[in-house]
Structure 1
Amino acid sequence: MADLSPRSEISFLQTFLCSAFAACFAEFCTIPLDTAKVRLQLQKKAVAGDGAGAPKYRGLLGTMATIAREEGLAALWNGIIPGLQRQCIYGGLRIGLYDPVKIFLVGSAFGGDIPLFHKILAALFTGALAIIVANPTDLVKVRLQSEGKLPAGVPRRYAGALDAYSTIVRQEGLGALWTGLGPNVARNAIVNAAELASYDQVKETILKIPGSTDNILTHILAGLGAGFFAVSIGSPVDVVKSRMMGDSTYKNTFDCFVKTLKYEAVHVLLR
């Protein structure tokens, strides 16, 4: 019978700070990959008006190489400031609240393995709540990442993260900071549920194998399983989220989803 009491030894604040730090470190290391992903997801804008011609970006590594060659290596870290802000808020809240919500759902007196359904429900709730708070940072991050090399004499839309926040509010209104909230909530709630619940479940399964211990290998294996499930399930809504945040021509989530399928192809949703 599993004992839930040891979890109370780590406070919410400690969990929040540790989660935020880990998420920020991961963000700094992986944002070049994320920038390439966003450019690939938004690429239809670069080729739609031409009617012909090869796409500018091809593949993850090819996209990174093109950005570095045309805009400089530092361009791969565009959006790092709002990205770190996002991870402090989103990463801290979604993980910091996961255990308290999970225990709340089953009751503090519960003994044994927490059912998978409750893990999924807790992760859905914390993922949705965290991204509602963090959506403005996500929006600014995508806007900065989507800005490629401009013709000579054409100024950038935003001089930096703070300028992006103020410009968006001034030109589009305060509510514009929550553009793409629908698909963003769907995406992050789903990804968080797939990630945290599967991590919990895989780790729990591994520890039931005779001779297994709660060591770093167990955490790595559980993390690999969680990452695979999260990316596989969350990719389509992630594409829609990025397009709505980077392109204001879409009316709503459904409009973005339908136009993507109508004018492009299903595989685009798996970028």
Structure 2
Amino acid sequence: MADLSPKTQISFVQSFLCSAFAASLAEFFTLPLDVAKVRLQLQKKTAVGDVGLPKYRGLRGTINTIAGEEGISALWKGMVPGLHRQCIYGGLRIGLYDPVKTFFVGSALIAEVPIYHMILAALLTGALAIVVANPTDLVKVRLQAEGQLPHGVPKRYSGAMDAYYTIVKEEGLGALWTGLGPNIARNAIINAAELASYDQIKRMILNIPGFSDSVFTHLLASLGAGFFAVSIGSPPDVVKSRMMGDSTYKNTLDCFLKTLFNEGFLAFYKGFLPNFSRAAVWNVVMFLTFEQAKRLITG
């Protein structure tokens, strides 16, 4: 990926460490928005004839409800597995990107990398990375969903490590890869939309007279990447969250069809505002940190 790599090439290990650090920092700052997004996605449509209002309404209302009922710290539920996920997934999806892209186009290529090669490489690295990181994603969603348990019902997990242990003990090792299908689809699509759009938007901006490879350019490109990633990845993201947070679905197709027929197509864009808000902030923090970390390494 021409624009994500500095003029002086960095190794896979260096790229992995830079992206893992940047992704973890972005995760910390945006986790409250992610918690709100997951709660909105897991909230099902009110039954016909039920005049009660939904518990969570909008980004601010959801955050206020969670903080009021469960405390401020509840907005950072899933932080530990979230950091686990970003260290593994965030590091692999970007660290592997350049080697995979080079494999597709060849190391002798001098011209700009075609957009379809960037998309293909990002699809593959996003899929490979989440196969490894799926258990961390599952535990993160389970911990975030704990607040939806009825009042008086004891929590299932005391923390991240207890969640890993309990899931394996009660549901088997394979349960850690629950929702892998939609998770692969979501992360492959979002990774492609995010990295390819960041690269392309950055390239377009740099072709405008007066613009340079600066923080402002990185800011604009990262905001554009966040919008494309959420717009394209929201449907598989909703399916993934529901499968991980609700064990009543038989498989990916069952979850997709039940959501579609029971709640309509717009249900796949539940939590869009908190999702985009999080993605915008997340991409800004991640890409700016990543770019600066690479510059420190390369001098």
How would you bin the TM-score normalised by the shorter chain?
A: over 0.9
Residue 178 of structure 1 and its aligned partner are, at CA, apart by: 0.2
Q: Which amino acid aligns with 1:100?
A: P
Q: Which structure 2 residues correspond to residues 16-165 of structure 1 after superposition, within 5 A? A: 16-44=16-44, 47=46, 51-148=50-147, 150=149, 153-165=152-164
Q: Which amino acid aligns with 2:15?
A: T
Question: Deviations 1:101-146 (Å, cap 9, x if unpaired)?
Answer: 1122110010011000000000000000000000000000000000
Question: Deviations 1:215-260 (Å, cap 9, x if unpaired)?
Answer: 1111111111111100100001100000000001001111001100
Contact 1:202 1:222 in 2 (8 A): yes
TM-score by length of 1: 0.94
Aligned-partner SS, 1:147 = helix
Residue 7 of structure 1 and its aligned partner are, at CA, apart by: 5.4
Contact 2:130 2:184 in 1 (8 A): yes
Contact 1:3 1:111 in 2 (8 A): no
TM-score by length of 2: 0.86
Contact 1:3 1:112 in 2 (8 A): no
In the alignment, which residue of structure 2 is the partner of 1:246? 245
Q: Which amino acid aligns with 2:246?
A: D
RMSD: 2.0
The percent of aligned pairs where both chains have the same amino acid is: 73
* 2:222 corresponds to 1:235: no
Residue 211 of structure 1 and its aligned partner are, at CA, apart by: 3.0
Residue 152 of structure 1 and its aligned partner are, at CA, apart by: 5.8
Change in 2 beyond 3 A, CA 1:120/1:3: closer
Aligned-partner SS, 1:118 = helix
Q: Which amino acid aligns with 2:14?
A: Q
The number of aligned residues is 269
Contact 1:184 1:238 in 2 (8 A): yes
Q: Relative contact order (C-alpha < 8 Å, sep 6+): which is higher?
A: 2
Change in 2 beyond 3 A, CA 1:209/1:259: same
Structure 1: 5+ residue runs without aligned partners? none
Structure 2: 5+ residue runs without aligned partners? 271-299
Whole-Å separation in 1 of the counterparts to 2:47 and 2:132: 34
Q: Which amino acid aligns with 2:133?
A: A
